[in-house]
Amino acid sequence: MVFSSVIFIFYFLPVFLLGYYVSGWRTAVLLVGSAFFYTWGEGPYLFLLLLMIALNYGGALLLARLAERRVRHLAFGALIAADFGVLGFFKYADFLVENFNAVWAGPPAPSPDVALPLGISFFTFQLVSYLADVHRGAVKVERDPTKFAAYILMFPHLIAGPIVRYADIRDEMHADRSRSERRGLGVQYFIIGLSQKVLVANAVAPLADHAFALDPSGLASTTAWLGIWAYSLQIYFDFCGYSNMAIGLAFLMGFTFPKNFDYPYVSRSITEFWRRWHISLSTWFRDYVYIPLGGNRHGLALTVRNLLIVFVLTGLWHGAAWRFIVWGLYHGAFLILERFGLRAILERLPAWAQHLYAMLVVMVGWVFFRADSLPHALQYLGAMVDVSAPTAADLQLTILLNAEVIAALVIGSVLSVPVMPRIMTLLKRPMAEQEDGALGLLDTRRVHAYPVLLLAVGFVLSVSVLVGSTLNPFLYFRF
C-alpha cells in the first residue's frame, strides 16, 4: 500500500484518522494501524521488524544502565553490528555472493536469494540513530515499549522516510496530541505531495522508462537527453512528493517530521545540492559517520578519505550494485574538487553558469542511478554525446510525447524551482510563517480562495489519474 493509491486515501486513511481522533489511545491506534499498514505490503516480515524493535528497545535500556565505559562501548558495538548484520544479509548478501563467484575459480557459492523487506534501510538507520543518541546521552532512553515501537513502526515514515530521529519527536510522542493546530497544514502538504507524485512523476515515468529500455547503441543524443530529463523530474517529484505526503500525515497526527527536500535543482554546486537533496539522509551520514570519522579536522588526506567513505556508503545505501557505488563516488569526487579549489572557480562565474554546471553533473549522475547496469550506464552516457541523426527507435519515442507528458515536463521543470511562493506573493495571499513555508503553503489560520481552489484542483486531478491508471511506481519503495 502506497500513499498515492485509492485504497490508502479513501479506505485506510479515513478509518485510521477516525480511530486516532475519536479514541483516547492514540499511541495504541498508531501502533496497530502502522502494523496493519506494513503487514498489507510485507506480511511475515512484520515479525522481523518487531524482533529488531524488541532488540533495540532492550539494548537501549541496557546501555542506559551500564556505567563502565568499556563494557558500554562493547554493548553498543554489538547492537550496531546486529542491526547492520540484518540489513547486510537482506540487502547485500546476493551482491556479495555474485561478486565472489565472479572472481572465484571454484564451484559457485549458492545465492541466498532473499526478498528485501520494505523500508529496511530507513528503519535500520532510525534504530541505529536512536542507539547512538542514547549511547552518547543526546536523548533519554524510552522506557515505554509501545511508544518506542510506535516511533519505529509509524507508517508515514516507515517505508520511505524521511529518516526521523527519536530526539526530534520524543516530546511529541509524550504530549497530548488530541488537539493539533497543524491539521490544515497537514492536508495541504499531503495534497501537494500527492500532486507532485501523480501529476508529474507518474506522468513522465513512461518517457524515462522507454528511453532507458532502448538499445543505447542506436540511441541519438536528443532522445538520451530527453530520457534523462524525464528521469531527473521523475525521481525528484517521486521522492519529494512522497516525503511531503509523509510530513503532511505526521502533521495530521500531531508530529513534526524534518524537511527532506529544499528545491535541490536550484543548486549552484554539488555541495549545495547535498544540502538540499534527501536532507535527512545526508545529515544522518554527516552526524553518525563523517563527524565520528573526524570530519575535516585532521588534514587534507583524512578529509578526502572521510568524504569518500561517506559517499561510497551513500551509494550502497541506495542499492547493492556497482552502479550505485560509482554514483556515490562520482558525487563524492565533485564534493572533494569543490572543497579544494573548484568552488572558488565557480564563485567567479555568473549564477546561470554555476547552475548549469550543477545540473549537468547531477543529470549525468542520474544515468548511473537509473541504468540497469554499469555498462548500460556508460553506453547511455556515450549516446548523450552522440550527435548522429535520429533512428527509428528514437522516432518511436515521440509517440510518448503527448500533451499530458509535455505538460508534465514543463510544469515539473517550472515547479522544481521555488515559484510557488512567488505565485502566492503575486496573489497577495499570506503564507505559513515558518521554514516549512518554502513550499508556498497558505496560512492555516485563515481561508483564502485561490490557494484552496488550487489544492482542490490538484487533489481532484490526482485522484482522477489514479482511478484511471494502473501506473503508480515508487522508486524508493524498496530502499
Q: DSSP letter string over 125-163?
A: HHHHHHHHHHHTTSSPPP--HHHHHHHHH-HHHHTT---
> Quick one: cell of 229?
530529463
Against a cut of 0.75, is the pTM above it?
Answer: yes
Determine the pLDDT at residue 40.
86
Cα angle value 247/191/239 (rounded, 5°): 55
Q: Which residue shows C-alpha cell 550506464?
A: 377
Query: Is residue 182 predicted with pLDDT exceeding 60?
Result: yes
Phi and psi for 431 in degrees, rounded to 5? -110, 165
Determine the pLDDT at residue 396.
59
Cα angle value 304/308/313 (rounded, 5°): 155
Query: Is residue 441 predicted with pLDDT exceeding 70?
Result: no
CA dihedral 455, 182, 417, 310 (to 10 degrees): -140
**pLDDT class of 449 with cuts at 50, 70, 90:** low
Determine the pLDDT at residue 435.
41
Average pLDDT over residues 420-449: 54
**pLDDT class of 395 with cuts at 50, 70, 90:** low
State whether the Cα torsion 265-269-272-278 is positive or negative: positive
Distance between alpha carbon 251 and the CA centroid of its chain, in Å?
A: 18
Determine the pLDDT at residue 111.
84
Average pLDDT over residues 454-461: 87
Determine the pLDDT at residue 401.
79
Determine the pLDDT at residue 80.
96
Which helix H or strand E contains 264, and what residues bound it? none
Beta bridge partners of 431: 442
Determine the pLDDT at residue 427.
56
Residues of 197-215 as b/e, b for ≥16 C-beta within 10 angstroms? Answer: bbbbbbbbbbbbbbbbebe
Higher-confidence residue of 271 and 454: namely: 271
Provide the 10 A C-beta neighbour count for residue 71: 11
Determine the pLDDT at residue 402.
81
State percent of the chain over pLDDT 90: 63
Average pLDDT over residues 200-221: 89
Higher-confidence residue of 107 and 145: namely: 145
- Identify whether the C-beta of residue 479 lies closer than 8 Å to the C-beta of residue 317: yes
- Read off the amino acid at residue 471: L
Phi/psi-derived region of residue 227, left when phi > 0, alpha when psi is between -120 and 50, beta in every other case:
alpha
Determine the pLDDT at residue 220.
82
- Read off the amino acid at residue 267: S
Determine the pLDDT at residue 474.
55
Average pLDDT over residues 86-100: 92
Average pLDDT over residues 187-215: 92
- Read off the amino acid at residue 242: Y
The three-state (H, E, C) secondary structure of 381-442, written as one string:
HHHHCCCCCCCHHHHHHHHHCCHHHHHHHHHHHHHCCCCHHHHHHHCCCCECCCHHHHHCCE
Per-range mean pLDDT, top range of 192-201, 216-225, 400-409: 192-201
Average pLDDT over residues 13-23: 92
Is residue 430 helix, strand or coil?
Answer: coil
Alpha carbon separation from 328 to 13, 80, 303, 418 (Å, rounded): 36, 23, 16, 27
Determine the pLDDT at residue 432.
45
**pLDDT class of 386 with cuts at 50, 70, 90:** confident
318 tagged catalytic: yes
Average pLDDT over residues 219-230: 89
Determine the pLDDT at residue 438.
45
pLDDT tens readout for residues 254-271:
999 999 999 999 999 999
Average pLDDT over residues 211-237: 90
**Whole-angstrom distance, CA of residue 391 vs CA of residue 40:** 45
Query: Is residue 334 predicted with pLDDT exceeding 70?
Result: yes
Provide the 10 A C-beta neighbour count for residue 103: 6
**pLDDT class of 298 with cuts at 50, 70, 90:** confident
Average pLDDT over residues 401-418: 90
**Whole-angstrom distance, CA of residue 1 vs CA of residue 41:** 6
Average pLDDT value for the chain: 87
Determine the pLDDT at residue 437.
44
Query: Is residue 434 predicted with pLDDT exceeding 50?
Result: no
Closest to 193 measured CA to CA, from 110, 261, 264 = 261
> Quick one: cell of 250?
505526521
pLDDT tens readout for residues 35-83:
999 998 777 889 999 999 999 999 999 999 988 889 999 999 999 999 9
> Quick one: cell of 129?
540513530
Q: Say what angle helices 300-318 and 322-337 make with each other, to 10 degrees.
A: 150
Residues comprising the chain, all counted: 479
**Whole-angstrom distance, CA of residue 271 vs CA of residue 304:** 14
**Whole-angstrom distance, CA of residue 223 vs CA of residue 200:** 19
Closest to 209 measured CA to CA, from 436, 476, 473 = 473
Query: Is residue 221 predicted with pLDDT exceeding 50?
Result: yes
**pLDDT class of 416 with cuts at 50, 70, 90:** very high
CA dihedral 19, 21, 27, 31 (to 10 degrees): 30
Determine the pLDDT at residue 288.
95
**Whole-angstrom distance, CA of residue 103 vs CA of residue 178:** 59
Instruction: Indicate the range of 126-135, 222-231, 378-387, 423-432 predicted with least confidence.
Output: 423-432
Name the active-site residue from 135, 318, 331, 355: 318
Query: Is residue 333 predicted with pLDDT exceeding 80?
Result: yes
**Whole-angstrom distance, CA of residue 429 vs CA of residue 424:** 5
**Whole-angstrom distance, CA of residue 309 vs CA of residue 313:** 6
Phi and psi for 442 in degrees, rounded to 5? -80, 160
CA dihedral 206, 209, 213, 214 (to 10 degrees): 60
**pLDDT class of 139 with cuts at 50, 70, 90:** very high
Query: Is residue 328 predicted with pLDDT exceeding 80?
Result: yes
